[in-house]
Amino acid sequence: MKTFDHVNVLGLLGLTFDADKNPLVVIPFMANGDLKTYLVKKKQTLATSLLMRFASHAALGMSYLAQHKFVHRDLAARNCMVDSDLLVKIADFGLSRDMHESDYYTSGDAQAKLPIKWMAPESMERRVYNARTDVVRN
């Protein structure tokens, strides 16, 4: 995350440790929280143009990740954050993979917990993950 530098991808400010030596990630404050909660809370007052802008922000962020050979694997409104200027940023890289070594990631652990409901069919069938499985349902 520390190398990400895109307006629609949540960056890393730093890393610190709590009293028990557990790592804590420091990220920018996102005044409007996650996109899913924001959409539910404001659903009666959101203009179509704003919803399209949110979708565009998410697409730009995912395009940036793909260009940098990162696969998110869990893009969802709950994993996007909204700042005070209503700018959407891709976040939650818990399932992301660095793709610099190859063009795809294959899960060797058949027991791994993955977001099955939202996964591309080829990811479920062959446990293959790449930039296309992040955004394109083949």
Q: Give, in order, the Cα–Cα distances in Å from 19 to each of 7, 22, 24, 105.
A: 33, 7, 11, 35
Predicted confidence at residue 79, as pLDDT, reads: 87
9-16: Cβ within 8 A, 24+ apart: 9/61, 9/64, 9/65, 9/89, 9/90, 10/81, 10/89, 10/90, 10/91
What's the predicted TM-score (pTM) here? Answer: 0.68
What are the residue boundaries of the structural domains of the chain, listed by start?
14-102
pLDDT at 133 over 80: no
pLDDT at 33 over 70: yes
pLDDT at 87 over 70: yes
Predicted confidence at residue 124, as pLDDT, reads: 60
Considering only CA atoms, give the Rg of the chain.
16
Binned at pLDDT 50, 70 and 90, residue 95 comes out as very low
Concerning whether 74 is annotated as a catalytic residue, the answer is: yes
115 or 33, which is more confident? 33
According to CATH, the topology of domain 14-102 is Transferase(Phosphotransferase); domain 1 (1.10.510)
* Euclidean distance between CA atoms 46 and 19, whole angstroms: 42
45 or 111, which is more confident? 45
* Euclidean distance between CA atoms 79 and 28, whole angstroms: 15
Average pLDDT over residues 107-134: 59
Catalytic residue from among 5, 18, 74, 85: 74
Q: Are 62 and 90 in contact (CB under 8 A)?
A: yes
